[in-house]
Structure 1
Amino acid sequence: MLKIGIVAGEASGDQLGASLIQTLKKHYPHIHFEGIAGPLMMAEGARSLFPMEKLSVRGYLEVILSIRELLSIRRQLVHYFINNPPDLFIGIDAPDFNLGVEEKLHAKGIKTVQMVAPTVWAWREGRIPLIQRAVDRLLVIFPFEKDYFAKQHVTATYIGHPLVNQIPYPVQRVKARESLGIDAEKRVIALLPGSRQSEIKYHANLFIAVARRLSQEHPQLVFLIPFINTRLKDMFYQQVGSSIKDLPLIMLQENAHRALSAAEVALVASGTATLEAALYDCPQVVTYTLSSLTAWMVRRKKKKGFVALPNLILDEPIIDEWLQEGATVTNITQSISLLLSPSVKREQMILAYQRMRQALELDTESAMMEGIKQVLDQHAN
């Protein structure tokens, strides 16, 4: 029995982890996964030792408030894997948590792979020595990362992004709208405020204020908000209260895929959802707000100018980004209104999405297996 330690820290990592587990099970029928997993990974058979939601924290202030619990979970997890060593440990994203686990396990002779590289090319480049100590191999999802890490003497395998192969193309917008019972004359905007509690806290009221302004200017609009679980949905309700009264709003308890299939524009909190929107050919506006302390720290250490993944991949400002002080109802509403019309901006964005898709297309399953098999074979030798 092949034993794999695995840790995902948020919804996007859970998606990647489920895809990875499916792939590995095809090649290794007798395989066991345990660590920290989300609902999709657990549905594929992974055993979760701690709730994944405990790791879904973003921002310096938010991490400080949760630091004791996070460190306790990490200590317990490291202790467990040292006493029950896996054949391989795979960390999925969540680098601030996973690199600490990987460093300690690697020091004990356990092979380690980090899937989704820390964005050291964008900020906090000082983490490179830790990556060199902690991992045997990175599985990177953006084309430029393999060469970047080679220059840093870190072995990396480019695997493409699994979402490219998972998201159906071309998009069936009419079918998606019909499945949601939306009348043909209505216009649809998807609101994706994030999948972390801290993101709901900072974005809920902003997103609803934008929706209300847009609804006044465009009475035919319908808004879709997907939530991955009841907890986030309830938290959103608590944040916005009666401000959603009379707003043409449909709340979904599912991933964002159907909402993005149905929408002609999306307002998206920066993260993997920006890539999902692009792969659904959904023009978008990106926003993000943090605590003042976290925003100050990010600005001090940030190297790249973009945050939206399509902008980073293409190294072009194809999507408007309204961050922190710039994340006002007026700014965001104006950007969305421009995309609701048949504008040059809208057309250029969709063409850029197609270029991005071509850049990311790859046989992800084969590339992923090649990278992992090489590490396992080294372990066997």
Structure 2
Amino acid sequence: MVAGEASGDLLAGRLLSGLRPQLPNARLHGIGGPHMAEYGFHSAWPMEKLTVRGLFEIIPRYREIKKIQNDLRDQLLADKPDVFIGVDYPGFNLGLEMQLKRAGIPTMHFIGPQIWAWRGGRIKKIAKAVSHMLVVFPFEEEIYRNAGIPVTYVGHPLAEVIPLQPDVAAARSKLGLALDARVVTIMPGSRTSELKYNTIAFIGAAKLLAQRDPALRFVVPMVGQRQRTYFTELVAAAGMQDVPLQLIDGQSHVAMAAADAVLVASGTASLEVALFKKPMVIAYKMMRASWEIMRHMGYQPWIGLPNILARDFLVPELLQDAATPQALADALWTQLNDQALRATLQRRFTDMHHSLLRNTAQESAQAVLQVMRQSSGRQARPKLD
């Protein structure tokens, strides 16, 4: 298995929670993070080595990442595992899967690339690379079936992990926040490139909001110590050390549950916020050259997963030059104070949660076992440690 970032590690951990009891002696290895490690997964490289986003941001890291891909490919071609599962991270995984499938190794991909949003031509590459797709949105099944790619809709793992009714009081108690406090959670991203481009605008918005309401509390979850150090350096360099931020290690779900509103970088985290039924503002900034290319490649008017699933601008999206501290602060202020809007979002996000809810661990595990059996025409016999 390969997961290339924190969200993929979380999703892969859910799959392994269903698979490990079925294969108690299986050797689980590749590249992953702490959630996968809970099920005995061994990561041959730190997952952080792969964590980068953007067309141009990857250039300084390309040779290192390509070497990891080639070394892992050679290892897997020699080992011939019963199945390879790429978890999201299509830029890395699809290329690897194509080479493994060509060598007769069954390949699965968990979390389909957003071909329904942009770069739809990638489905031809997916057909060459993937033996079986595991998809997390119901409308994706038809897309892959029409392309002749075996597919199973397994629901979205986060819809099971996140409770239908989050416990706000418990989350605030855990973070030392008063139950009647007004709390804004700020999530500029987990990748270094995301922190680089989003931090100043996000914290600038917090500073403006603190001036409007000095009683506001700001919680900022950090995925790791490296990200926390870099974030702190960026805030200091911008002269914004006076913004009253409560940095916490991990605990992103606790921070979401505790929030009245969330400022979040576009990506899986925006769906997590929706499943926590929280008003939000979605924002994203990136290297200028990457933005100039990518802004012409989308098929839909939305980039945030909650809006894509709703087929509507449920929550604001402020991208690149539009994501100024003032614009972010104004949008968040509305999310905090418009009670009719907050009630509407609560209802729409609850409906969204129900639509994504399935026993993902069990259904994805059964799909994996089926592929393993079909690949050799025999009952799967996993390699033992």
User: What is the CA–CA distance in structure 2 between the aligned matches of 1:233 and 1:180, rounded to whole Å?
Assistant: 17
Query: In the alignment, which of 273, 292, 295 is matched to residue 296 of structure 1?
Result: 292
Corresponding residue number in structure 2 for 1:250: 246
CA deviation after TM superposition for structure 1 residue 20, in Å: 1.4
User: What is the CA–CA distance in structure 1 between the aligned matches of 2:216 and 2:223, rounded to whole Å?
Assistant: 23
- Residue 223 of structure 1 aligns to a residue whose secondary structure is strand
User: What is the CA–CA distance in structure 2 between the aligned matches of 1:111 and 1:167, rounded to whole Å?
Assistant: 31
Uncovered stretches (5+) of structure 2, i.e. residues with no partner: 378-385
CA deviation after TM superposition for structure 1 residue 372, in Å: 1.3
Uncovered stretches (5+) of structure 1, i.e. residues with no partner: 1-5
CA deviation after TM superposition for structure 1 residue 311, in Å: 0.9
Question: Match for 1:153: what amino acid?
Answer: G
User: What is the CA–CA distance in structure 1 between the aligned matches of 2:121 and 2:296, rounded to whole Å?
Assistant: 13
Kept in 2: contact 1:173–1:261 (CA 8 A):
yes
Aligned ranges for residues 119-268 of structure 1 at < 5 Å?
119-241=114-236, 243-268=239-264
CA deviation after TM superposition for structure 1 residue 80, in Å: 0.6
CA deviation after TM superposition for structure 1 residue 296, in Å: 1.4
User: What is the CA–CA distance in structure 1 between the aligned matches of 2:199 and 2:206, rounded to whole Å?
Assistant: 11
CA deviation after TM superposition for structure 1 residue 43, in Å: 2.9
Summarize deviations over 1:148-179 as a string: whole Å, max 9, x none: 11122221110111111111231111221122
User: What is the CA–CA distance in structure 2 between the aligned matches of 1:50 and 1:251, rounded to whole Å?
Assistant: 28
- Does 1:18 pair with 2:13? yes
Question: Match for 2:207: what amino acid?
Answer: R
User: What is the CA–CA distance in structure 2 between the aligned matches of 1:48 and 1:120, rounded to whole Å?
Assistant: 29
- Does 1:355 pair with 2:351? yes
1:258–1:53 Cα change, 3 Å = same
Corresponding residue number in structure 2 for 1:3: none
Query: In the alignment, which of 332, 336, 340 is matched to residue 340 of structure 1?
Result: 336
- Does 1:106 pair with 2:96? no
Deviates more, 1:121-130 or 1:103-112: 121-130
User: What is the CA–CA distance in structure 2 between the aligned matches of 1:119 and 1:281, rounded to whole Å?
Assistant: 23
User: What is the CA–CA distance in structure 2 between the aligned matches of 1:325 and 1:342, rounded to whole Å?
Assistant: 25
User: What is the CA–CA distance in structure 2 between the aligned matches of 1:268 and 1:199, rounded to whole Å?
Assistant: 11
Kept in 1: contact 2:16–2:365 (CA 8 A):
no
Aligned ranges for residues 43-58 of structure 1 at < 5 Å?
43-58=38-53
Kept in 2: contact 1:194–1:200 (CA 8 A):
yes
Deviates more, 1:186-195 or 1:17-26: 17-26
Kept in 2: contact 1:185–1:220 (CA 8 A):
no
User: What is the CA–CA distance in structure 2 between the aligned matches of 1:137 and 1:360, rounded to whole Å?
Assistant: 20
User: What is the CA–CA distance in structure 2 between the aligned matches of 1:185 and 1:332, rounded to whole Å?
Assistant: 24
Q: Number of matched residues?
A: 376
Aligned ranges for residues 324-335 of structure 1 at < 5 Å?
324-335=320-331
When the two structures are superposed, what TM-score results if normalisation uses the length of structure 2? 0.95
Question: Match for 2:302: what amino acid?
Answer: F
Question: Match for 2:54: what amino acid?
Answer: G
User: What is the CA–CA distance in structure 1 between the aligned matches of 2:102 and 2:219, rounded to whole Å?
Assistant: 47
Kept in 1: contact 2:267–2:304 (CA 8 A):
yes
CA deviation after TM superposition for structure 1 residue 279, in Å: 1.1
User: What is the CA–CA distance in structure 2 between the aligned matches of 1:128 and 1:373, rounded to whole Å?
Assistant: 24
User: What is the CA–CA distance in structure 2 between the aligned matches of 1:82 and 1:281, rounded to whole Å?
Assistant: 45
- Residue 78 of structure 1 aligns to a residue whose secondary structure is helix
- Does 1:269 pair with 2:261? no
When the two structures are superposed, what TM-score results if normalisation uses the length of structure 1? 0.96
Question: Match for 2:325: what amino acid?
Answer: V
Identical-pair percentage: 37
1:366–1:183 Cα change, 3 Å = closer
User: What is the CA–CA distance in structure 1 between the aligned matches of 2:191 and 2:79, rounded to whole Å?
Assistant: 31
Superposed CA RMSD in Å reads 1.2
CA deviation after TM superposition for structure 1 residue 186, in Å: 2.2
